[in-house]
Amino acid sequence: MRKHFTITLCLLITAIANSPVTAQTEHRVRLGGYGGPELGITSVNGDFGVMMGGRGGLIINNRWVIGGAGWRVVNNLKINEMDARPLSLEMKYGGLLLEHLFPSRDIFLFSVNVIIGGGQVSLDENESNQEIGLDRFFIFEPGANLVADISRHFRISLGVGYRFIANARLGDIENSDLAGPTAKATLEFGLF
């Protein structure tokens, strides 16, 4: 995971270093912002997961976004264990959102982002709906998005990413069981 974190950090630093800088006597910072719901799909412990959540942030000079994001897996994820009780897995996570936008004069633009934060996973007994185990973990999720600029106040974003997990251990559930690819669609409302 340290290798993936280092590679993503290097890519973000390269994007910052290559941002166009104009020599002006008066420097103006243009601010905007957005927020909106997000629907996604993922793989958790080899099972198909549906995620619901949202993200939003402050847009600086139409290039940088600093904000937050969070999701919860909303469908019932089955666990195949030797335990006679049928168990299900619940997971939610979120954190700091850092994004770099590549503006375009066309309707579509491209962005790269990273979410750094934490989450929690729990095991529940299906019949009694009783929680029998809980653990917290670190999350690092880089991604890329294609954004359709519909109007000055509305965008639609389609993105893919990969969720890296550290410090998760709950029964037989480990980091690699919770890590996985993600695909998300976001409705972004704000001032762009």
At 22, the pLDDT band (50, 70, 90 cuts) reads: very low
pLDDT in tens, 27-58: 789 999 999 999 999 999 888 999 999 999 99
Greatest alpha-carbon pair distance for the chain in Å reads: 72
**Residue 170: how many CA atoms within 13 Å on its side-chain side?**
25
Domain at 95, CATH number: 2.40.160.20
**Which residues touch 43 (CB under 8 Å, ≥6 apart)?**
49, 180, 181
Tens of pLDDT, residue by residue over 61-100, are 999 999 999 999 999 887 765 556 677 889 999 999 999 9
Identify whether the C-beta of residue 57 lies closer than 8 Å to the C-beta of residue 67.
yes
Specify the number of domains making up the chain: 1
Q: Which two tokens mark 95?
A: 């954190």
% residues pLDDT > 90 (the chain): 65
pLDDT at residue number 24: 47
For position 129, what pLDDT does the model report? 74
Residues in the chain: 192
What is the average pLDDT value for the chain, to the nearest integer? 87
Task: Determine which of 48-52, 123-127, 163-167 has the lowest per-residue pLDDT on average.
Answer: 123-127
Asked if 115 contacts 123 with a C-beta cutoff of 8 angstroms, the reply is: no
11 part of a folded domain: yes
- Closest C-alpha to 156, from 146, 141, 171: 146
**Model confidence at 108: pLDDT above 70:** yes
Nearest to 9 by CA among 142, 160, 144, 175: 142
In a domain, 23, yes or no: no
Statement: residue 5 has pLDDT above 80: no
Domain that includes residue 105, residue range: 2-16+29-191
Mean pLDDT computed over 149-154? 94
**Residue 23 banded pLDDT, cuts 50, 70, 90:** very low
Q: Is 83 part of any domain?
A: yes
Helix (H) or strand (E) holding 166: strand 154-166
